[in-house]
Chain A
Amino acid sequence: MMMSRFMSLVAALLLAVAGLMPAGCDSSVSPRGKLSGDAAEPLTVLVAASTREGVEEVVQRFRDSTGLAVRIAAGPSNALAQQIMAGAPADLYLSANEHWADAMVDAGLSADRQTVLKNRLVVVAPRGNPAGVRVLEDLVGDRVKYVALAGEQVPAGMYAGEALETAGLLETLEAERKIVRGHDVRIALAYVEEGEAEAAIVYATDALDSGKVETVATIAADTHQPIRYPLVLVDRRPVRPAARKLYEFMVSGEAAAIFRKYGFEPATAEN
């Protein structure tokens, strides 16, 4: 019957694909184990969500000049650190705070480390500022139903929590159940972009990026830990020369100039 002829054809195709799979597999899982990388495997950089666009341009400049393959994954710094500590094959890690870079050092995973970027916190609202937020204290007012922050372990969420605590507002906001924690700072931003939250505390660089929000208040830098982005060269035992090359490029003045376009201030040796 037609049906069983078709089914045996499907079965044959599946078997053929299954048979060809081992032959087609690339050799990126080297016999030395997952931690060390094969020479042919692309470089992998895990970066804080807020730096994604800047890193994409920096990496593209690197690709153009060296011809090396690089993969980028962006996300909340805490989750990325977790992944690397659990064995994820990353060559570089750009964290949005020193805390998660320290965690990498404590875990013996850092071959080199340098702070490359600085940032600031701002309060953003949907375009048009429907709740009329002018200062941080307005967040506890009646017109603001939800304030979006990044997660409690995410650097942006930690800085924001600190700033709110310094201003004496954190407890009130938590008691009023006004705080919505996004998976990372970009989700917090998205909540405001979509008008679901009347305000969010995000990085000044995120506010620049988005056309759907406006910056309504600034947050004094002395109300929280200085916002610093350390770049970690992950010790994959051994560190691949290509990874070292990318690391050197990302801490260079050329990369700093690119990051400046996105609103990041470069970190100098003094600060």
Chain B
Amino acid sequence: MFTAAELDAIWLSLLVATVAVVASLPLGIGLGWLLARRHFRGKSLLETLLHLPLVLPPVVTGYLLLVLFGRHGWLGEPLERWLGIRLVFDWKGAALAAAVAAFPLMVRSIRLAFSGVDPRLVQAARTLGASRWNAFRTVTLPLASHGIVAGAVLAFARSLGEFGATIMIAGNIPGVTQTIPLLVYTQLETPGGLKHARGIVVVSIVLAAGALAVGEYLERRGRARLGTIHD
């Protein structure tokens, strides 16, 4: 039903998107909490930097990543020399590009969720003897969970569709870095290729819609649980 190249692309897209979200979630939660709960010098600068991938053309983001993480890049060279990790022409580079592109969406959602948590509930937990971390884990985090889920789902869906930055840093290598968007693009450049792309386009839509549906379900379940806590 699907060609080997299409199956490779589907598998790669799922791998890249999952790794991108899972790897950036801790940082996303941390930054979302920080931006929601704290004021500090340089906060606006941080917010601007965080929003950059949202507003920069994706190929520019990809170019910046290439400069940073390429073999001679500031971060790329030590990564390769000391950890043997190569990001360019590798699925990890695609995951990095997807993570960076999706990060602003994730943080916005998580930040919103944290600012919706009533700080008095946290204070109540502290006065009852909970440590900062305990209060965060048992009060703040569960209350913000539906926003965190929403952020993760948004980031996942965005990662599935990442193209510009991916093609810059990971290249378009079938079976190695050719995600669904890259495969569709390659088909587009081939005369007559458009009709072959139909199947994979449908898969792409189903995956994105599926991700959103799962997110919706998790969010609703999270809110329902919150309902019982309040009562």
Which residues on A are within 8 Å of B, measured CB to CB? 76, 78-79, 81-82, 85, 103, 146, 151, 153, 177, 179-183, 191, 194-197
| A78-B189 contact in complex given A177-B175, A181-B172, A181-B173, C-beta closer than 8 Å | yes
Q: Which of A81, A82, A177, A195 contacts B176 (CB 8 A)?
A: A177
Structural contact, A153 and B189, CB atoms closer than 8 A = yes
A76: B residues at CB distance < 8 A:
189
Q: What distance in Å separates the Cβ of A232 from its nearest Cβ neighbour in chain B?
A: 16
Structural contact, A103 and B88, CB atoms closer than 8 A = no
| Any A CB within 8 A of the CB of B222 | no
B186: A residues at CB distance < 8 A:
151
Chain B residues 169 to 189 lying within 8 A of chain A, measured CB to CB, are 171-173, 175-176, 186, 188-189
| Any A CB within 8 A of the CB of B70 | yes
| A153-B190 contact in complex given A180-B89, A196-B70, A196-B89, C-beta closer than 8 Å | yes
7 A–B contacts, CB within 8 A, in A order: A81-B191, A151-B172, A177-B176, A180-B89, A183-B172, A194-B72, A196-B70
With CB as the reference atom, state the residue of chain B lying closest to A154: B189
Given contacts A146-B89, A180-B171, 4 further A-B pairs with CB under 8 A are A79-B189, A182-B171, A194-B66, A194-B71
Alpha-carbon distance A98/B190, docked complex (angstroms): 16
Alpha-carbon distance A82/B189, docked complex (angstroms): 7
With CB as the reference atom, state the residue of chain A lying closest to B66: A194
Alpha-carbon distance A166/B4, docked complex (angstroms): 26
Alpha-carbon distance A183/B186, docked complex (angstroms): 9
A85: B residues at CB distance < 8 A:
191
Q: Among A79, A177, A196, which residue has the most Cβ atoms of chain B within 10 A?
A: A196
Alpha-carbon distance A222/B2, docked complex (angstroms): 38
With CB as the reference atom, state the residue of chain B lying closest to A78: B189
Alpha-carbon distance A179/B174, docked complex (angstroms): 10
- Contact code string B123-152 (vs A, CB < 8 Å = 1, else 0): 000000000000000000000000000000
In the complex, which range does the number of interface residues on chain B fall in? 10 to 19
Structural contact, B190 and A195, CB atoms closer than 8 A = no
Alpha-carbon distance A74/B189, docked complex (angstroms): 15
Q: What distance in Å separates the Cβ of B8 from its nearest Cβ neighbour in chain A?
A: 11
With CB as the reference atom, state the residue of chain B lying closest to A179: B173
Q: Among B89, B175, B186, which residue has the most Cβ atoms of chain A within 10 A?
A: B89
B89: A residues at CB distance < 8 A:
146, 180, 196-197
Alpha-carbon distance A5/B36, docked complex (angstroms): 31
Structural contact, B70 and A78, CB atoms closer than 8 A = no
Structural contact, A195 and B189, CB atoms closer than 8 A = no
With CB as the reference atom, state the residue of chain B lying closest to A180: B171
With CB as the reference atom, state the residue of chain B lying closest to A153: B190
- Contact code string B12-30 (vs A, CB < 8 Å = 1, else 0): 0000000000000000000
Q: Which of A82, A177, A183 contacts B173 (CB 8 A)?
A: A177
A179: B residues at CB distance < 8 A:
173
Structural contact, A78 and B172, CB atoms closer than 8 A = no
Q: Among A81, A85, A181, A182, which residue has the most Cβ atoms of chain B within 10 A?
A: A181
Structural contact, A196 and B71, CB atoms closer than 8 A = yes
A194: B residues at CB distance < 8 A:
66, 70-72
Q: What distance in Å separates the Cβ of B171 from its nearest Cβ neighbour in chain A?
A: 5
With CB as the reference atom, state the residue of chain B lying closest to A182: B171
B190: A residues at CB distance < 8 A:
78, 153
A79: B residues at CB distance < 8 A:
189
Alpha-carbon distance A85/B89, docked complex (angstroms): 32
With CB as the reference atom, state the residue of chain A lying closest to B189: A79
Q: What distance in Å separates the Cβ of B190 from its nearest Cβ neighbour in chain A?
A: 5
A182: B residues at CB distance < 8 A:
171
B175: A residues at CB distance < 8 A:
177
5 smallest CB-CB distances across A and B, nearest first, come from: A196-B88, A180-B171, A195-B71, A79-B189, A153-B190
Chain B residues 71 to 96 lying within 8 A of chain A, measured CB to CB, are 71-72, 88-89
Alpha-carbon distance A196/B67, docked complex (angstroms): 11
Q: Which of B72, B171, B172, B188 contacts A195 (CB 8 A)?
A: B72
With CB as the reference atom, state the residue of chain A lying closest to B171: A180
Structural contact, A103 and B172, CB atoms closer than 8 A = no
With CB as the reference atom, state the residue of chain B lying closest to A196: B88
With CB as the reference atom, state the residue of chain A lying closest to B175: A177
A103: B residues at CB distance < 8 A:
191
